[in-house]
Amino acid sequence: MKKSGAGVLLACWECRGALAGVPPAANHFCDQCGKVQPLGGEADYFSFFRLPRRLGLDPAQLEKQFHDLSWKLHPDRFHQAGDYERSLSLERTAVLNDAYRTLRDPVSRVEYLLRLEGVRKDGEVKQQAPADLLEEVFELNEYLEELRAAKSAGGDARALDDLRHRLEKTRAAFQEKLDAVLAELTAQFSAWDERGDRAALVRLSEILNRHSYIRNLVRNVTEELES
Amino acid sequence: MGRIIGIDLGTTYSLVAYTEPETGRPRCLPDEEGRTLVPSVVSLEESGAVVVGWPARERLLRQPERTVYSVKRLMGRGRADVADELKLFPFRVAPGSESVIQIDLGGKVFTPPEVSAFVLRELKRRAEKFFGEEVTRAVITVPAYFNDAQRQATKDAGRIAGLEVERLVNEPTAASLAYGLDKHQRALIAVYDFGGGTFDISILRLEEGLFKVQSTNGDTHLGGDDIDNLLLEKVRAEIRTRFQVEVADDADRYQVLREAVIAAKHELSEKEHAPLRFALDGPSASFPSTPLRAGRASRGEYVRELTRAEFESWIAPIIERTLAPCRMALKDAGVKPEQIDEVVLVGGSTRIPLVRRRVQELFGRQPHTELNPDEVVALGAALQARILEGGLKDMLLLDVTPLSLGIETMGGAVAKIIPRNATIPASAAEMFTTYADKQTGVEIHVVQGERELVRDCRSLARFTLRVPPQPAGLPRVEVKFLIDANGILSVTARDLRTGEERSVEVKPSYGLTDDEVESMILESIEHAEADFAAVQLLGARNEAETILRATARALTEEQARELSGDERRQIESARAALEAALRTDDYKLIRQRLDELNQATHHLAELLMDTAVQTALKGKRADEVKL
């Protein structure tokens, strides 16, 4: 396990029994009395699920863990418990849901890992058009402008349809690029997972920028087409 | 800890249900007449007493200015939000209603949570009567698409009514629980919930008792009410053209017309045609049980036959508005319509054949309609209540937040911190610092919505984060936003330098403060006694009026000639005494005089073989007697 903080020794708030071997985030319950345990500071989503900090993971396995923990931790299961344990259940279930939401999606999983590893800061996303896409992006923006102008001018239906059609085609082309970027992203996983290669993290960060740029582009076009 | 009841607090009707611990089966609690529905209508008597449910609905015709309905549409909203509603609904909004609407009811002012609290208290009483003990805990359902302020307002209503709201459950999710879908199956379910005032669509994945909501969407201002308003508008226009009469000018008649179009709407769910008759000059509003008699009409009667085809062509655009949210929800869940295994219909408006057809077309399968669409949500609430009591351990609901949570950043933009359709409870932590030296406060503005600019989203709350005066950028305060299992936000802040943690007092943009709710609870306790008297008074009055009419009629019958002069005089004096008692607000006195008249007419009743009159005179319930 990478940087798991193994060896932390804590005691259960209820029975004072020792909690050991895993970071506090993964100590969901006391082995002896079964009470829910506090998170103990910042919870790292990987260690919450007792997973190593790796990008490749089995989605079915993660989902199964999510279900098992939901059954055990959800506030509904502690409605008759004392106030303190209820608050722990709420806190832990919120993190369970946040962690599952973050880790199940490859893009947010990479983003999260990059932040954990200090490669990216919060909310730091470059919104520059990637150089090799400049031409296509320029064309796309032109179409978008034309469509907006035509819409507000209430232009004739045929011209509008034609514009929509062209935009539709460009969107499909960008969607393909988006899929390709996603494949590129996952192709980098092993470099980090197997060798702990930090240079891979920097490459992942760049691919992520490219991905979020194209994703926004596709989203904008979709919005314009559907409105 | 006491039992927990399940409540469906609806736009048009509300219900209360519970789950039998032994069998695990939920059931709705009926009134003495066997009705499970309670109209969500509240009327304020001149005496200051509050009337709720069926008697209040009757008052809608007699005293529209003292009666309010569909108040759910106003929950958690400000004046500016409801400008459109106000054109269509007879809400009288008092001045100074910017952040919390104040409804004028016969000269007194109430907030929407207070009005809803009257309905909740009626349901609470019904449950208490059933169990023979006090009930103080409830699960209440809300439309899945309700925002934070609307949820908070519902919770406030519960507190005002003396109910601890143990959980708010989304209506479509509750319905899916109730639907008795085989818990062991794995299925993808779409719940289409089209009620009186709101529309919700939820996509759920059911896996071995785990009900996981994948996505939800909807419109909190789209429902059967809108269909009623549309029909009313069409008919009103026709009357204007045909008779040069503006029905809306007469509040009483307008209410009568509303009832008529609603009746036609209901009929068209069963038949191809529905007659629509409306006397322009109706009977006096003080005799609500009298059917419309056109005899005295001077301006005539509007008569028309409405066909289902015509009805459908009118309402098609409204039904169409439910389909965009459906497509959105499917997209967010990442599924195609044909992947949906089961479709469940909820809400009274799903009785409309056109709705069923459109839903079937969209999902390509026959929707489930086995359960009463009016009751299914309350049944689900009762099941959730049982789960919280510690029973039904093989069921668990994982719901989502319908709207993204964000905070305002530079230039009025929104930074999303919890996305829509995130499973709740959910949380997010954000770091804040200062921009100027010795700055002591950081303004934080929390919003809900999908748009990128603050002005296009719903403002939830603003608050000032206190920081110690230090050089710019030095303070580091972590603010944690937590959406709990009710879908309600709470905020805590932690100073990372001192480790000091504190809760943040959040003033809601649209809603009541804790102190305001507290004071309303007290007021409602003071009202409780008066309310009881009001209900008694109403019952006694209705009964007295029925007996008086029955007596008057009986005296004109052939058989009445056999009465002795003495008997006749006794009846006359008992009648006069009852009529005098009716002019007071003293229900005990009315009851007493009623009994006396009953006794005086005993022989008369025996003389009459007319069974209807006889039952009336023997003191059967007023509305069972046909006059």
- The 3-class secondary structure across B321-361, one letter per residue, is HHHHHHHHHHHHHCCCHHHCCEEEEECHHHHCHHHHHHHHH
Q: What is the pLDDT of residues B392-443, one digit of tens each?
A: 888 999 999 999 999 998 888 888 899 999 999 999 998 888 888 888 888 8
pLDDT at A59: 94
**Interchain contact, A79 vs B207, CB within 8 Å:** no
Q: Are residues B160 and B295 in the same domain?
A: no
Q: What is the pLDDT of residues A138-196, one digit of tens each?
A: 888 888 888 777 777 776 778 788 888 888 888 888 889 899 999 999 988 988 888 88
Beta carbons of B47 and B534 less than 8 angstroms apart: yes
Q: Are residues B339 and B288 in the same domain?
A: no
pLDDT at B250: 79
Provide mean pLDDT across the span A59-85. 95
The reply to whether A117 falls in a domain is: no
The reply to whether A115 falls in a domain is: no
Q: Are residues B213 and B229 in the same domain?
A: no
Q: Are residues B256 and B194 in the same domain?
A: no
**Interchain contact, A94 vs B207, CB within 8 Å:** no
| Rounded percentage of chain A residues whose pLDDT exceeds 70 | 90
**Interchain contact, A101 vs B423, CB within 8 Å:** yes
**Interchain contact, A70 vs B396, CB within 8 Å:** yes
Provide mean pLDDT across the span B468-495. 88
Alpha carbon B356 to its chain centroid, in Å, reads 23
Q: Are residues A22 and A73 in the same domain?
A: yes
Ranking A94-108, A170-184, B376-390 by mean pLDDT, the lowest is A170-184
The whole-angstrom distance between B392's CA and the closest CA on chain A is: 10
Instruction: Count other Cβ atoms within 10 Å, centred on residue B626.
Output: 9
Provide mean pLDDT across the span B591-614. 77
ipTM: 0.87
The domain tally of chain A equals 2
Q: Is B312 among the residues known to form the active site?
A: no
Provide mean pLDDT across the span B131-155. 93
Beta carbons of B523 and B122 less than 8 angstroms apart: no
B220: helix, coil or strand? Answer: coil
**What single-letter DSSP state applies at residue A16?**
-
Is A76 near chain B, with CB under 8 Å? yes
> Which residues in chain B are closer than 8 Å to A76, comparing Cβ atoms?
167, 387-388, 396-397, 485
User: Which has the higher per-residue pLDDT, B106 or A58?
Assistant: A58
Provide mean pLDDT across the span B196-224. 92
Looking at the predicted structure, is the pLDDT value of residue B238 above 70?
yes
**Interchain contact, B396 vs A71, CB within 8 Å:** yes
Q: Residues B193, B200, B374, B531: which is the catalytic one?
A: B193
Read off the tokens for B258.
């509303």
Structural domain including B45 reads: 4-223+318-398
pLDDT at B609: 54
Q: Are residues B502 and B547 in the same domain?
A: no
Which of B59-73, B171-185, B346-360 tops mean pLDDT? B346-360
Provide mean pLDDT across the span B533-546. 79
Looking at the predicted structure, is the pLDDT value of residue B273 above 70?
yes
Q: How confident is the model at residue B526 (pLDDT cuts 50, 70, 90)?
A: low
User: Which has the higher per-residue pLDDT, B250 or B25?
Assistant: B25
Ranking B75-89, B101-115, B249-263, B308-322 by mean pLDDT, the lowest is B75-89
Provide mean pLDDT across the span A16-43. 81
Q: Is B8 among the residues known to form the active site?
A: yes
Looking at the predicted structure, is the pLDDT value of residue B210 above 70?
yes
pLDDT at B283: 52
Cα nearest neighbour of A42 on chain B: B429
Q: Residues B8, B148, B342, B399: which is the catalytic one?
A: B8
Q: Are residues B473 and B533 in the same domain?
A: no
**Interchain contact, B166 vs A71, CB within 8 Å:** no
**Interchain contact, A94 vs B390, CB within 8 Å:** no
Which of A182-186, B72-76, B94-98, B380-384 tops mean pLDDT? B380-384
pLDDT at B289: 39
Q: Residues B114, B166, B171, B226: which is the catalytic one?
A: B171
B398, B432, B456 — which closes off a domain? Answer: B398
pLDDT at A155: 65
Which of B83-92, B188-197, B290-299 tops mean pLDDT? B188-197
Written as one letter, the residue type at B163 is: L
CATH of the domain at A56: 1.10.287.110
B398, B427, B457 — which closes off a domain? Answer: B398
> Which residues in chain A are closer than 8 Å to B416, comparing Cβ atoms?
none
The domain tally of chain B equals 4
Residue B75 to residue B88: CA distance in whole angstroms: 16
Q: Are residues B181 and B232 in the same domain?
A: no
Taking only residues 32 to 71 of chain B, the set having a beta carbon closer than 8 angstroms to any beta carbon of chain A reads none
The reply to whether A68 falls in a domain is: yes
Ranking A106-110, B24-28, B338-342, B438-442 by mean pLDDT, the lowest is B438-442
Instruction: Count other Cβ atoms within 10 Å, centred on residue B190.
Output: 29
The reply to whether A3 falls in a domain is: no
Q: Are residues B239 and B334 in the same domain?
A: no
pLDDT at A174: 85
Q: What is the pLDDT of residues B84-98, one digit of tens each?
A: 777 777 778 887 767
Please name which of B231, B243, B181 lies closest in space to residue B206, comparing C-alpha atoms. B181
Provide mean pLDDT across the span B73-94. 80
Q: Are residues A97 and A136 in the same domain?
A: no
Is B598 near chain A, with CB under 8 Å? no
Looking at the predicted structure, is the pLDDT value of residue B615 above 70?
no
> Which residues in chain A are closer than 8 Å to B388, comparing Cβ atoms?
76, 79-80
Residue B162 region by backbone torsions, left for phi larger than 0, else alpha for psi between -120 and 50, else beta:
left
Q: How confident is the model at residue B287 (pLDDT cuts 50, 70, 90)?
A: very low
Ranking B251-265, B274-288, B361-375 by mean pLDDT, the lowest is B274-288
CATH of the domain at B594: 1.20.1270.10
Please name which of B353, B89, B53, B40 lies closest in space to residue B232, comparing C-alpha atoms. B89
Q: Are residues A152 and A195 in the same domain?
A: yes
Structural domain including A174 reads: 131-226
Q: How many CB pairs under 8 A join A and B?
A: 57
Q: Are residues A92 and A141 in the same domain?
A: no
Residue B576 to residue A52: CA distance in whole angstroms: 89
**Interchain contact, A94 vs B387, CB within 8 Å:** no
CA Rg value for chain B: 28
Q: Are residues A138 and A83 in the same domain?
A: no
> Which residues in chain B are closer than 8 Å to A71, comparing Cβ atoms?
210, 396
Looking at the predicted structure, is the pLDDT value of residue B489 above 80?
yes
Beta carbons of B257 and B247 less than 8 angstroms apart: yes
pLDDT at A53: 92
pLDDT at B93: 82
Residue B480 to residue B431: CA distance in whole angstroms: 9
Ranking A214-218, B285-289, B539-543 by mean pLDDT, the lowest is B285-289
Residue B83 to residue B101: CA distance in whole angstroms: 11
Q: Is B171 among the residues known to form the active site?
A: yes
Q: Are residues B143 and B273 in the same domain?
A: no
> Which residues in chain A are closer than 8 Å to B397, comparing Cβ atoms?
76
A69, A104, A139 — which closes off a domain? Answer: A104
CATH of the domain at B493: 2.60.34.10
Sign of CA pseudo-dihedral B344, B350, B355, B357:
positive
Q: Are strands B108-110 and B103-105 parallel, antiparallel or unpaired?
A: antiparallel
Q: How confident is the model at residue B9 (pLDDT cuts 50, 70, 90)?
A: very high
Beta carbons of B333 and B203 less than 8 angstroms apart: yes
Q: Are residues B346 and B250 in the same domain?
A: no
pLDDT at B244: 86
| Rounded percentage of chain A residues whose pLDDT exceeds 90 | 32
Looking at the predicted structure, is the pLDDT value of residue B211 above 50?
yes
In order of A113, A226, B282, B420, the CA distances from B328 in angstroms are 30, 12, 47, 12
Q: How confident is the model at residue A21 (pLDDT cuts 50, 70, 90)?
A: low
Looking at the predicted structure, is the pLDDT value of residue A20 above 50?
yes
Is B425 near chain A, with CB under 8 Å? yes
Q: Are residues A100 and A15 in the same domain?
A: yes
pLDDT at B431: 86
Is B188 near chain A, with CB under 8 Å? no
Residue with tokens 């056999």: B562
Element holding B27 (H helix, E strand): strand B26-28
The whole-angstrom distance between A93's CA and the closest CA on chain B is: 6
> Which residues in chain B are closer than 8 Å to A100, comparing Cβ atoms?
423
Q: Are residues A160 and A85 in the same domain?
A: no
pLDDT at B200: 92
Is A81 near chain B, with CB under 8 Å? no
Indicate the average pLDDT of chain B: 86
Looking at the predicted structure, is the pLDDT value of residue A210 above 60?
yes
User: Which has the higher per-residue pLDDT, A141 or B611?
Assistant: A141
Residue B284 region by backbone torsions, left for phi larger than 0, else alpha for psi between -120 and 50, else beta:
beta
pLDDT at A122: 59
Angle at B549 between CA B543 and CA B551, to 5 degrees: 100
Q: Are residues B218 and B288 in the same domain?
A: no
Provide mean pLDDT across the span B131-154. 93
**Interchain contact, A93 vs B425, CB within 8 Å:** yes
Is B328 near chain A, with CB under 8 Å? no
Looking at the predicted structure, is the pLDDT value of residue A198 above 90?
no
Looking at the predicted structure, is the pLDDT value of residue B617 above 60?
no
The reply to whether A173 falls in a domain is: yes
Q: What is the pLDDT of residues B322-342, one digit of tens each?
A: 999 999 999 999 999 999 999
The reply to whether A221 falls in a domain is: yes
Q: How confident is the model at residue B117 (pLDDT cuts 50, 70, 90)?
A: very high
Angle at B99 between CA B96 and CA B105, to 5 degrees: 55
pLDDT at B610: 52
| Rounded percentage of chain B residues whose pLDDT exceeds 90 | 45
pLDDT at A24: 78
pLDDT at B194: 95
Cα nearest neighbour of B387 on chain A: A76
Residue A73 to residue B129: CA distance in whole angstroms: 36
Q: How confident is the model at residue A125 (pLDDT cuts 50, 70, 90)?
A: low
Considering only CB atoms, A97 lies closest to which of B167, B390, B423, namely B423
Q: Are residues A138 and A99 in the same domain?
A: no
B398, B426, B461 — which closes off a domain? Answer: B398
Q: What is the pLDDT of residues B447-477, one digit of tens each?
A: 998 888 888 888 888 888 888 888 888 888 8
Considering only CB atoms, A67 lies closest to which of B210, B419, B431, namely B210
Q: What is the pLDDT of residues B129-141, one digit of tens each?
A: 999 889 999 999 9
Ranking A22-36, B225-239, B278-292, B509-523 by mean pLDDT, the lowest is B278-292
User: Which has the higher per-residue pLDDT, A160 or B505?
Assistant: A160
Provide mean pLDDT across the span B509-523. 76
- Name beta bridge partners: B4: B137
Read off the tokens for B607.
């003389």
